[in-house]
């Protein structure tokens, strides 16, 4: 891994070697009148292939960023998946491995349960955030781990905050998980976005106009390409010095990440967001 150590040292010290996501991260914190004062990381190789004089490795990179904003500090953490090809020990190709979910269900399928009883609940934001912090970089064995796990993780957080499940066993209705089965809205980003905006009892979301209105425990939905197919969900766990949300997420596991996701490989200039207050 010595070649990779040299690669990442160049990324963070040599402007000409910086990948696009790192330039966007620097730019977003400069815009927010903040700076990244320290970067640390470690890599963990989990797969390797050898053929002739070439080696292909896949590894998990855990990065930590200490952010200073006015007199306020916070630690952001991310996990990224990378693939590197080496020839005679020299890097010839290095790229992030995308892990993205495209919608497989129709948003019109996620409808309010007809004839269902009203389910009022008090959303415990503290418990939702506590769960988000406990499991941001690991997986609760009581639930299935999905390859694209962002919505499953956010659903677990809301459940920990007291959101009631309903609709089982019909996958196209409600929001629920039984251990060997689950609703589309539990695990598919596109479905949860539409469920939150359409539900009138139990778990429901009140759409707000700006991220400043969100509180810890609330949810942000992301349409990276702006094509109407929602790709990703995060949960708000904190606010920065300007009152803007910091979020946790799964898939590329992240903690205290700035809400815009401008530093994501999936980000595009066409990105669209939806902001949901939970339990209101």
DSSP secondary structure, 158-223, as one string: HHHTTPPPB-TT-TTBSB-B-SS-B-HHHH-HHHHHHHHHH--SSS-EEEESSGGG--TT-EEEEE
pLDDT band at 107 (very low <50, low <70, confident <90, very high): very low
Q: How many CA atoms lie within 13 A of 215 on its CB side?
A: 11
What would the mean pLDDT of 174-202 be, rounded to a whole number?
95
The pLDDT score that the predictor gives to residue 100 is: 58
Q: Which residue has the tokens 């898939």?
A: 251
CA pair distance 8, 196, nearest whole angstrom? 40
The pLDDT score that the predictor gives to residue 179 is: 83
The pLDDT score that the predictor gives to residue 237 is: 98
CATH number of this structure's domain 107-278: 3.90.1720.10
Contact 70, 35 (CB under 8 A): no
Contact 7, 91 (CB under 8 A): yes
The helix or strand, by DSSP H or E, that contains position 272, with its residue range, turns out to be strand 272-278
Q: Is 66 helix (H, G, I), strand (E, B) or coil?
A: strand
What would the mean pLDDT of 187-211 be, rounded to a whole number?
96
The answer to whether residue 115 scores a pLDDT higher than 80 is no
pLDDT digits (tens, 9 = 90+) for 48-84: 888 788 889 999 999 999 999 999 999 999 999 999 9
The pLDDT score that the predictor gives to residue 9 is: 83
What would the mean pLDDT of 141-163 be, rounded to a whole number?
97
Among residues 210, 200, 262, the alpha carbon closest in space to that of 239 is found at 210
What would the mean pLDDT of 182-191 be, rounded to a whole number?
97
Q: Is 20 helix (H, G, I), strand (E, B) or coil?
A: helix
The answer to whether residue 188 scores a pLDDT higher than 80 is yes
The pLDDT score that the predictor gives to residue 5 is: 80
For the chain, the average pLDDT equals 90
């Amino acid at each position: 891994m010595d070649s990779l150590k040299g690669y990442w040292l160049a990324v963070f010290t040599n402007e000409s070697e910086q990948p696009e996501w790192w330039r966007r991260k620097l730019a977003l914190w400069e815009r927010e009148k903040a700076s990244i004062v320290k970067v640390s990381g470690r890599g963990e190789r989990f797969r390797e292939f050898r053929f002739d004089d070439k080696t292909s490795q896949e590894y998990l990179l855990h990065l930590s960023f200490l952010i200073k904003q006015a007199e306020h500090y916070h630690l952001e953490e991310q996990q990224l998946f990378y693939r590197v090809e080496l020839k005679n020990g020299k890097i010839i190709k290095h790229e992030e491995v995308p892990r993205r979910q495209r919608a497989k269900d129709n948003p019109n399928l996620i409808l309010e349960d007809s004839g269902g009883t009203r389910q009022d609940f008090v959303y415990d934001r503290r418990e939702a955030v506590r769960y988000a912090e406990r499991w941001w970089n690991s997986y609760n064995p009581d639930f299935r781990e999905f390859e694209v796990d962002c919505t499953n993780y956010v659903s677990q957080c809301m459940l920990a905050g007291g959101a009631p499940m309903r609709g089982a066993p019909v996958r196209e209705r409600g929001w629920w998980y039984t251990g060997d089965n689950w609703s589309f809205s539990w695990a598919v980003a596109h479905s949860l976005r539409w469920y939150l905006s359409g539900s009138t009892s139990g778990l429901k979301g009140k759409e707000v106009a700006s991220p400043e209105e969100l509180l810890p425990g609330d949810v942000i939905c992301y349409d990276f390409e702006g094509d109407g197919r929602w790709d990703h969900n995060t949960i708000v766990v904190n606010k920065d010095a300007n009152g803007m949300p910091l979020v946790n997420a799964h898939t590329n596991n992240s903690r205290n990440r700035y809400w815009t996701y401008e530093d994501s490989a999936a980000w595009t200039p066409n990105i669209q967001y939806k902001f949901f207050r939970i339990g209101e």
